[in-house]
Amino acid sequence: MSAGLPVVGIVGRPNVGKSTLFNRLVGRREAVVAPEPGVTRDRKEAEAAWRGNSFVVVDTGGWSAQGDSLDGKVSEQSERAMGDADVLLLVVDVTVGITEPDARIAAMLRRSGRPTLVVANKADSGSRDDGRWEFNRLGLGEAWAVSALHGRNIGDVLDRVLDLLGAGAPEADETGVDGADADGAGHGDRSSDEPFHDGSAHDEPSEDDAIPAVAIVGRPNVGKSTLFNRLIGDERSVVHDRPGTTRDTIDTLVETEAGPVRFVDTAGMRRKARVDADTEYYANLRALRAIDACDVSLLVVDATEGVTAQDQRLAERIDAAGCPIVVLLNKWETLDAEHREGVLGDLARRLHFVGEAPVLRISALTGRGVHRLVPAISAAMEAYESRAPTARVNAIVQLAQSAQPAPGGARVLYATQVAAQPPTFTLFANRELPPTYLRYLERRLREELGLAKTPLKLRVRRR
């Protein structure tokens, strides 16, 4: 969570519109939303602002007193959010009325003593407003009729949230605009006229942009969420042996010996042909977006299954994004010597294109080998951001050409590094260079400049 900011938790039974309300409050489509119940499973946090006051909003999975062990773990996450929040929003469905789970959640909230607002969602028009009075029987005060989907009456709820947080609404300035500061900035009513942002980027750079983001990616059920929880030292993500437990990206800032790092847990990605639901499609889309936005990707491979074709495709996708990759062979402690040799053989054969990317043998469950992860991330980031003097680059290329001339009289006349993140080199040549020779020059540059742990790009221009 953002340090020092108050926390507003959104709780309720499944399929009442908690994630839709979460997206509305943060002003962008941050959480995956679908018509079926049980889409949200983990606690998801994002910063929001209203009338010049910032706070953290926490979305939770639907609380249920019944169901299987996975439902129980989702409910545990919801209960933890109830204990951590400064203000709670209990979301109910005005079209359904009070249900037994609503009453049981309300009882827990009354016992907690935390300030709570009952939000009667799906009141898309004034004709449904009278349905809110039934929820006053929950014993948590007057219910607020809203439509999270259309933004109806959300501003009134946010004003009340500020009151409960002790922030209150700022007085109108000389221009008569509520919540406007000296620059004229402020927020009006968050109504249906306000569009969502897509959540892919912030409008302005912030301090968080300088903090490296590390995405944890892989196939379903390889141990990504277990690793995420171990790295952040908290049970933020629901862990279960059912594939596809994680439905959305969850991120947390962690202070490490190398400085702050933002770890991002992502949904397990399967081949497109196997994605058979909108929820999984959007979860995959969020995971791919996390890869594109991150500074380092941790590819988690289930060592008990070896390196599969899907692992190979994910590595290719990370490589195409241009960010460093660290391969994690999880559940390594369960393998005997023969199986370990087989996995390493698969790795060399299927992931040869990642070069000398770090390969760590770990156990996310026990923590074995996880201590080596942050140093590996730091080394990959250092190589990713490195720059080499032009004289040094030219000397390496000239020595490489002297040792092994290019076929057909081709020759690099001049070379320079034109960019970092990843290191990118432009080679000025007298004619086209064969791909095999380019791979040779790339290997020499990696060896001499210490760039084995990062992607590297070569561009050729003819002169």
The mean per-residue pLDDT over the stretch 423-432 comes to 94
pLDDT value at 274 more than 70: no
Q: How high is the pLDDT of residue 456?
A: 87
In contact, 264 and 214? CB cutoff 8 Å? yes
Q: How high is the pLDDT of residue 39?
A: 43
Residue of higher predicted confidence among 243 and 405 = 405
Buried b (16+ CB within 10 A) or exposed e, 53-66: bebbbbbbbbbbee
pLDDT value at 67 more than 60: no
d(CA 249, CA 294): 12
In contact, 144 and 120? CB cutoff 8 Å? yes
Q: How high is the pLDDT of residue 320?
A: 84
pLDDT value at 399 more than 90: yes
Per-residue confidence band for 330, with pLDDT thresholds at 50, 70 and 90: very high
Q: How high is the pLDDT of residue 182?
A: 34
Q: How high is the pLDDT of residue 193?
A: 37
Q: Has this prediction a pTM greater than 0.85?
A: no
pLDDT value at 431 more than 60: yes
Estimate to the nearest angstrom the gap between the alpha carbon of 40 and the chain centroid: 14
Sequence letter at residue 256 = T
Q: How high is the pLDDT of residue 79?
A: 65
**Encoded tokens for 192:** 């249906």
d(CA 356, CA 455): 10
d(CA 360, CA 447): 21
Residue of higher predicted confidence among 274 and 394 = 394
Q: How high is the pLDDT of residue 188?
A: 39
In contact, 154 and 25? CB cutoff 8 Å? yes
State what percent of residues in the chain have pLDDT above 70.
76
Buried b (16+ CB within 10 A) or exposed e, 337-373: eeeeeebbebbeebbeebbebbbbbbbbeeeebbeeb
37 CB-near residues (< 8 Å, 6+ apart):
14, 15, 62
Q: How high is the pLDDT of residue 36?
A: 46
pLDDT value at 225 more than 90: no
pLDDT tens digits, 166-208 = 865 444 443 333 443 333 333 434 444 343 444 443 444 445 5
SS3 306: coil
Q: How high is the pLDDT of residue 252?
A: 78
Q: How high is the pLDDT of residue 41?
A: 44
The pLDDT mean for the chain works out to 79
List the single range of 223-232, 265-274, 342-351 with lowest mean pLDDT: 265-274
Residue of higher predicted confidence among 40 and 281 = 281
User: How many CB atoms sit inside 10 A of residue 243's CB?
Assistant: 12
Per-residue confidence band for 17, with pLDDT thresholds at 50, 70 and 90: confident
List the single range of 180-194, 202-216, 257-271, 407-421 with lowest mean pLDDT: 180-194
Q: How high is the pLDDT of residue 331?
A: 92
pLDDT value at 26 more than 90: no
pLDDT tens digits, 102-125 = 888 888 888 888 889 999 999 988
